Structure formats: structure tokens, C-alpha cells
Chain A
């Protein structure tokens, strides 16, 4: 990577030239619609500004809880005072949150290849040695810190409590990592003592990234292409997953009562969701882009599906979201007016569906917290697959815990109507074709691309084809996308367009007001051809937008 030549062209001639040539308007955005089904945000900004501790905003949230609001309005749908309430509770919050805020909003330090790293590392090693003596007693079954295989993993994710108790590790058993987690906790608290927050340590190829979300501390250690901010986003997803299992209310109250609590007790059974999430983040651009992948369907079919859901769900009070997903792709969302779903909440929903076969066995009625929607409480989800022969899963989310039978009936009617209009066949056909081939675009130099419509928070990519067949090649490609994404979003020098010559391909990324586009080209392509191809590509996406994106946002 280091040897490859790299050249960025900020507002470069090339970009201007191409704009003139094919006249892509400034606000051109294939896939955008007047009303988006998802909330579009700049996640990186959000991560920077969110509070460091869940305690800070819990009292504020409890009053302003969206779920409470929905429950209140169940009788009469008045949702007017919202804004007044928000500003008031901000005032309240600023008083009790002041002490913590001082720490949380301080400019954080960033230790980068500084001499500080060495002493810290030595400290770590000395602790490793002392624990060596105890090793005899432990039967070596799971991977632990002394195991070379354990060290080989390219990415580790750890979760520990404020008190340093291990909660989760992607690899190895948490019990054997007690001392290691102790070191992590020590690092966090040493920096905290100076009124600061530790963010990352860079040592050689390894990045140690910290996310302090008290009462939890999350740590990622990676030597992948993911940049530190990207790892923070990943940690944030992991943190949100914990909230989706427990809610912030429960998480706080547990640690308020017992700082020493072993959270693994409550997370029992959820490790699978964590493992699955941590693994998919290394190959799925959804998390990198904070966007959702849609199942390609003709707009007529998609509308029929949405309408079927609207038709029956609108008769039921209190259905907040109806979500239809199939193999990690979104088919449609129907939502209650005034409420939108955040893409990262949707990622959690998809992760839940993907990680468990339990839903395939029977209809389920399960509590789920969507942290961005309302982290303080649970929504209740009726979860069912449409049919034994169709891997599409329908989730009906409500605030009313007594609605199971109503939703069961509602679901039955929806499925009946979908059968009648052959929607299941259409979904299956689209799933079987595994998306579309890049050759459909008709641009010979183009190997692969990822396009995200910013306002819609949706993205599209063709299926991976030769030369990206082996797992290694695929993950290399994803690494390149991560690298491009990082360079484009580099806060010190954000870019508009980047032409990058890799070892096996040429990469080009392009940010406009409305979209982000990343693409891989044949290795011999010229800058001029590549930029031209990008223009044509955007036009092709525009032409296909009805099929590739969800263009309307049906509400109940």
C-alpha cells in the first residue's frame, strides 16, 4: 500500500473538465426522493458530538422518550409540545451534566507514534508475564492472550465495564482476558485523570481505538485498512447493539446499583449478535457508509408490497414501523407519520434477523430497543418470515405490548395479499439473481462500484464478480474502499475527488452534494477515461433508480 503512488485532486482540473463535458448538475442525486424513508445523517459528526456517558442524557431522555410520547398519543394523536419540551430539558440537563461535560467535550489527545506508546506497551507486557504463572491452572481450550492464533486475528473488539470487568471479546474467552481488560481500563482512567479522553493509539500497523460510553468502555484493536474514525463508528454500532438488547435505562440502573456487575449475565445469548455484527462490518459497506442496501425490485412490485402493508397496518393503532427485509437487503419500510428510522437502527434489526434462525421456526414476539429511535425503552416486534419458501422477514414494530394477536391477524392478511399479487415470487427472483452484474452498466473499464445517495441513506453496488472471487480479493477490495472513504472524509483535508492507483486496480472516488461514489477500474485506465466513466455511471444509476432504490416513503 505504501509503495503505491497516490494522487489526490482536490477540485482538480479533471473534475472541472468532466463536469463541463457532461454537465452533471451540482445537486444531481440519483436515488433521491422528496421524502426519504430513512434519516440521513453525517455519522462522523454525530459520533464526535454524542455524549461520553449514557448517564448524561438518560434523565433527559426519560422525559423526552419517543416511546412515552407514542404511548401518550395512543388515545389522542397530539404531538405538538415536542419542541418546547426539548429546550426545557436541555436546560435541566446542563446543570447536572456539567461536571461530566467538562471532561467529555475537552479536546482529546491523540497519541500518535509518540514516545508515550512505548512505556504503555511495556506496562502491558509486564502484566502479561505476571499472569503467566497462573496459566498452569487454566486448561487451555479457548484462545487466550498467549495463543499465537489469538494474536493473528486482524481485528479484535473488546467491551469492558467502567470498573474494568470484561463483558465481551470477539475472540478468546473473556475470563482469560481479565488482565488485558484491566490494562485497557487503566489507560482510559489515566487519561481521564488529566481531564481528557483517550481516542486512539497508533503503533506500527496496529490501531488501538477507544470509545468511552460510560458505564461501558469499548476498544478495537486492528491492523486492517479501517481508519481510526471508521473503527470508532464500528464501536459505536457495537455499543448501539448493546443498547438494543438492554436499553440505556436498564444499562444505567444496573451499574448505578452495582458498579461491579458482570454484564455477561444479561447479555447471555446475545454474543451471537455481537459476533455477527463485528464480522459483517468487515465486509459490508452498509456500516462504512451508514446507509442501507435495497433489494432491487421494479417499482410496481415494491409499491404493491408497500401498499399491502399500509392497507392492513393502518387499521391497527400504534404500529410505528413495518419493515420487510430479505437477506440483509431492505424491501420496504412503512412508517408512522412523523417518525423515521435511522439507518443504524435498521442495521441492528437486520443483524438480529440474520444472526438467528429462531424466527424461522415460528412467529415471534420480541422486545427490541432501537437506540436512535429511543434508547430508553423497548418496542415490541412481531417477527415472521413471509413463507417457508421465501427468505423475506416481516417485522411489525409497536409500542403496545398487547398487540400480538392483532398483528398476527394483520400479518396474515398482508401475506395473503402479497401471495395474490405474486410479490413473493418477485422477491425470490430478485434474491436468486443476486443483484445485478456490473456488465449491465455497459462500461468496459469498470470493475465494481458503490454508490450512495446521501439524502436517501441508501446505497447500491453490483454483485462481486471476477476478478473479485476469492475471499482474499474481496476483502482487499473492501479495504481499498475503506481507504478511499477515509481519505475523502479526512477531517484535516476532506476531498471531493480522488484518483488512486492501487496494486491491482485503479480506484476513483467522488463526492458531490448529493452522493458518494467509489469505483474500481481496470489497472491501465487513464484518469480521463475513469472520470468520464464515472459520469456515465451516475447517469446509468439515475436511469435505474426506480429499481435500485426505494423512492417513496409510504406512511400509515
Chain B
């Protein structure tokens, strides 16, 4: 079975529930008394999907303003990004968009993006329209999920979808890889001048082999 290892960064405003989402997914629990993250916390998890062993290295970043300038350190070489906002705060939605722009500006390779409208258990206080968020997600080529760490909604799906996105990228790379291998033997190598296209989603047949990160 193929396996891959990827770096996932979780971004969003302060207090939107980034840590809650991650802790819900990994620890299968919810706590109302989580302290704000300082810097970034590091989690790993493994899942098997579509015949792939996927190992996710999750960087749960701090949403506080003072860590904003540190963010590049955490999202550099990320393969996927979970962009979290709070459906009861339009400001957090706008802020999430600035994260998308920042990622586009600073990360050269394509990132699998997944937008999460968190706290969907608080529907009565909703400030962000589902369709609006959905459309925005589509426009940036991301998937959209409404999630709740309290009631455990949508989180499994979001991570699974992210993993699928990563597998997709991985498969594309494989085929590109093969193609360029062929083309190297053949005449025409113009099609894939930048070989390999993505160096940082790699096969991890040996556990401590090449790391995705070159950070």
C-alpha cells in the first residue's frame, strides 16, 4: 500500500476554534477551557483512505496578532491548509480571506485548501452566509465544511477531504514523475521542465527517510 506524509497548517483568527477542531479530531474530545495556543502546537495523526496510509503533521498555529509575523515559519512548505473562521463573526471570515491571500503570495507550490466555518452549533448567531462562504471556497479551489467541535460535526469529513486532496496531488505528481521520466528518455522534455513538480509530497516507504520539510 502506498503511503504519504504531508504537512498541514491550521490558520485563522484568534478564538475561532482552531485548537478545538484539531483536538476534537485527534483527541476525540472537546474542552471548553482550552488555553490560547502560544506560537504553534504540533500534532500528528495517521489515517488510511482509498488504499493510502496518510500521515498528517498538523501545525496548529496561534491566532493572536503578535504571532502573525511568525506565521511564514509555520506555513512554509505546507502541503495543505485548514482555514478556519467562526460563522458567528464576519470579521473572522474576512481575516480568513487574508490568510488565503498570504498563502498564495508566499507559498509557491499549490496547497490543498480547506475552508472550515466553525462553531456551526451556534447557528442562531450566524453572521456568515453558507452560500457566500461556499462560493468563496469554490472560487479559490478549496472545499468548504461547516464544522463544530462541540457537537463533532463535519470535522472528520474535513480531514478526510484534505487527505483525499493530498492523495490527488500525490497521484498527479506520480504521473508527472513518470511522464518526465519517459520524456527524459525520449526527445521532448519541454512539457515538464520543472522536474519534479512537487518535491515535498513524497512517498514515505521508510519511516524516517526524507522528510517533507526542508525547513
Contact = CB atoms under 8 A, between A and B. Distances in A.
A80 interface: no
Contacts of B67: 367
B66 A246 contact: yes
Interface string A227-264: 00000000000000000011000000000000000000
Given A245-B66, A362-B60, A269 B41 contact: no
B42 A361 contact: no
Contacts of B36: 269, 272, 356, 358
B38 A358 contact: yes
B39 A361 contact: no
Interface in B37-70: 37-43, 60, 62, 64-67, 70
A223 interface: no
A125 interface: no
A136 to B, nearest CB: 28
A363 B37 CA distance: 11
A366 B74 CA distance: 10
Given A269-B64, A402-B215, A365 B37 contact: no
Contact of A270 (B33, B66, B211): B66
Interface of A: 245-246, 265-270, 272, 352, 356-359, 361-367, 381, 383, 401-402, 404-405, 408
A366 B60 CA distance: 12
18 contacts: A268-B64, A269-B36, A269-B38, A269-B62, A269-B65, A270-B66, A356-B38, A357-B33, A357-B35, A358-B41, A361-B19, A361-B41, A362-B41, A362-B60, A363-B42, A365-B40, A366-B62, A367-B70
A490 B118 CA distance: 58
A283 to B, nearest CB: 22
Given A245-B66, A265-B65, A361-B23, A366 B38 contact: yes
B66 A269 contact: yes
A359 B38 contact: yes
B190 to A, nearest CB: 35
B187 interface: no
A364 B73 contact: no
Contact of A365 (B34, B39, B64): B39
A362 B35 contact: no
Nearest to B66: A266
B14 interface: yes
B213 interface: yes
Contacts of B65: 265-266, 268-269
A269 B19 CA distance: 15
A358 B38 CA distance: 7
Contact of B40 (A265, A272, A364): A364
Contacts of B70: 367
* Residue in B42, B73, B74 whose Cβ sees the most chain A Cβ within 10 Å: B42
B35 A356 contact: yes
A271 to B, nearest CB: 10
A468 B210 CA distance: 59
A267 B66 contact: yes
A405 B39 contact: no
Contacts of A361: 19, 23, 34-35, 41
Contacts of A367: 39, 67, 70
A269 B23 contact: no
Contacts of B43: 362
* Residue in A266, A356, A359, A361 whose Cβ sees the most chain B Cβ within 10 Å: A361
Given A268-B66, A405-B213, A364 B35 contact: no
